[in-house]
Amino acid sequence: MNDASFDDDLPAHATAEPGEVGLVEPHNFTSNEPFTCDDGHTLPHFTLRYETYGRLSPAGDNAVLICHALSGDHHCAGIHSLSDRKPGWWNNLIGPGKAVDTNHLFVVCANVLGGCQGSTGPLSPDPATGRPYGITFPAVTIRDMVRSQKRLLDHLGVRRLRCALGGSMGGMQALQWAIEYPDFCDKILAMATTAREGAQAIAFNEVGRQAILQDPGWNQGDYPPGGGPRVGLAIARMMAHITYLSDASMDRKFGRREVRAPAAARVGADTLAAPAAAFDVEFEVQSYLRYQGQSFINRFDANTYLYITRAIDRFDLAAAYGGTLEKAFAPVKADTVVVGFTSDWLFPPEQNREIVLALQRAGKNASYAELATDLGHDSFLLESPELYALVRSFLERG
């Protein structure tokens, strides 16, 4: 533990109401030992921003690591202040008496290496220049993210990980945990994920990246804080968000309902509207996507988006470990459950089943659950008593 330092003490959790973790604080872990990324570049030190909920057992063996998806971060439960409009992104799953029960479990969630919410990434200053890394930042991988998380857990005193749990990119990290640290990790719970990105998912990410790269504000990755390719990033987010939903859920939520058009567009039949007004928001779904894009650019960095989508695209366990998933899973000792969702067309159920079948062929203890839902890829984030029961049962069994 000599390679790391805290910025302050572990948080004392206040419970705002039964079932909630309540007020929480983010903390920074800094590893001062050099970290060599998979691309060969070495970071002289790195920081991970994280939050914890619950208490670590004296034996250090009751920890659950929450691994976040592309647009997520370390704040997965609780609130930072009483004025917060909404809690952490997986607050429905984590808390006293919830599926991930903080009465008994010590929950850790860290913003990934390469992130932009306090962890070292493209926004961080390069010690060699004092300027933000930008596109000189190492090409981080899912494995790099996991190896940096291991340093955090070691520093926190976690001697054994009860479970690594996540959806989408978080599920990729969970699978990588099982391979990278088989003697440290007891259970893996991966949801709405894949062992490698398919062509369609890579294609969606590429369109998003091109929206950023073709925005003049990107400026080869060199832009001021608060600036950069805001239009390109918003478009990338809008398109990606569509892939997280489903046709049925969008139709139910929006249908073809119209919003009130601006006055310039409400012209008489014999009058032509101004060109710009003719393409203004007409349907509720358009307004929703524009809101998603705008809110995203206020909290996310464009270079980070480029880096993390590239890490997702390059994730291919079979290619990385000898050519087959069975070879990739050879070291695994963790009890594994993979959950697919019937309406997920980004990482469809067959990709989730493929993981379990390969684990079973490799002689591992693995199970597959498929939940019927019409909510799309983001089903793992939404209210689901069936999912809660599955997660609770898996974490509680011996």
Q: What is the CATH number of the domain that holds 35?
A: 3.40.50.1820
Could you tell me if 352 and 340 are in contact, meaning their C-beta atoms sit under 8 angstroms apart?
yes
Task: Verify that 28 and 110 share a domain, yes or no.
Answer: yes
Task: Verify that 286 and 345 share a domain, yes or no.
Answer: no
Task: Verify that 134 and 30 share a domain, yes or no.
Answer: yes
Distance CA 119, CA 39 (A): 19
Q: Which of 25, 131, 23, 112 is nearest to 69 (CA)?
A: 112
Task: Verify that 82 and 148 share a domain, yes or no.
Answer: yes
- Pick the catalytic residue from 119, 246, 377, 378: 377
Could you tell me if 152 and 118 are in contact, meaning their C-beta atoms sit under 8 angstroms apart?
no
Task: Verify that 278 and 388 share a domain, yes or no.
Answer: no
Task: Verify that 87 and 230 share a domain, yes or no.
Answer: no
Q: Which of 371, 367, 369 is nearest to 343 (CA)?
A: 371
- For residue 312, being part of any structural domain is answered with no
Q: Is 344 a catalytic residue?
A: yes
Task: Verify that 225 and 193 share a domain, yes or no.
Answer: no
Compute the 3-state secondary structure of the chain and give helix, strand, coil in percent, each to the nearest 5.
Answer: 35, 20, 45
Q: Torsions phi, psi of 239, nearest 5?
A: -65, -45
- For residue 308, being part of any structural domain is answered with no
- For residue 291, being part of any structural domain is answered with yes
Rounded to 10 deg, the angle between the 302-314 and 142-156 helix axes is 100
Task: Verify that 93 and 183 share a domain, yes or no.
Answer: yes
Could you tell me if 38 and 141 are in contact, meaning their C-beta atoms sit under 8 angstroms apart?
yes
Residue 1: pLDDT over 90: no
Q: Which of 155, 151, 159 is nearest to 58 (CA)?
A: 159
Residue 9: pLDDT over 70: no
Distance CA 263, CA 289 (A): 22
Question: Which of 303, 330, 347 is the last residue in one of the domains?
Answer: 303
Task: Verify that 298 and 150 share a domain, yes or no.
Answer: no
Return mean pLDDT, the chain.
92
- For residue 74, being part of any structural domain is answered with yes
For residue 253, what is the domain's CATH number? 1.10.1740.110
Distance CA 158, CA 152 (A): 9
Task: Verify that 287 and 332 share a domain, yes or no.
Answer: no
Residue 268: pLDDT over 80: no
- For residue 310, being part of any structural domain is answered with no
Task: Verify that 55 and 171 share a domain, yes or no.
Answer: yes
Question: Which of 256, 277, 303 is the last residue in one of the domains?
Answer: 303
pLDDT at residue number 19: 87
- Pick the catalytic residue from 119, 148, 168, 343: 168
- Pick the catalytic residue from 344, 378, 379, 384: 344
pLDDT at residue number 398: 74
Residue 373: pLDDT over 50: yes
Residue 191: pLDDT over 80: yes
Which residue carries 């898996």 as its tokens? 394
- For residue 109, being part of any structural domain is answered with yes
pLDDT band at 88 (very low <50, low <70, confident <90, very high): very high
Task: Verify that 220 and 247 share a domain, yes or no.
Answer: yes
The answer for residues whose C-beta is within 8 angstroms of residue 95's C-beta and 6 or more apart is: 19, 20, 21, 53, 77, 78, 101, 102
For residues 74-89, average pLDDT: 95
Q: Is 119 a catalytic residue?
A: no
As a whole-number percent, the residues of the chain with pLDDT over 90 amount to 88
Question: Which of 250, 275, 303 is the last residue in one of the domains?
Answer: 303
Kindly state the helix (H) or strand (E) to which residue 130 belongs, with its residue range: none
Domain count within the chain: 2
Q: Which of 112, 86, 97, 85 is nearest to 21 (CA)?
A: 97
Residue 6: pLDDT over 80: no
The C-alpha angle 213, 216, 217, rounded to 5 degrees, equals: 90
* Residue numbers of the domain that contains 68: 4-197+317-396
For residues 115-121, average pLDDT: 98
- For residue 311, being part of any structural domain is answered with no
The answer for residues whose C-beta is within 8 angstroms of residue 207's C-beta and 6 or more apart is: 236, 239
Amino acid at site 180: E
- For residue 323, being part of any structural domain is answered with yes
pLDDT band at 14 (very low <50, low <70, confident <90, very high): very low
pLDDT at residue number 127: 95
Distance CA 287, CA 338 (A): 35
Residue 21: pLDDT over 50: yes
pLDDT band at 329 (very low <50, low <70, confident <90, very high): very high
Dihedral angle, C-alpha 354, 356, 358, 362, nearest 10 °: 180
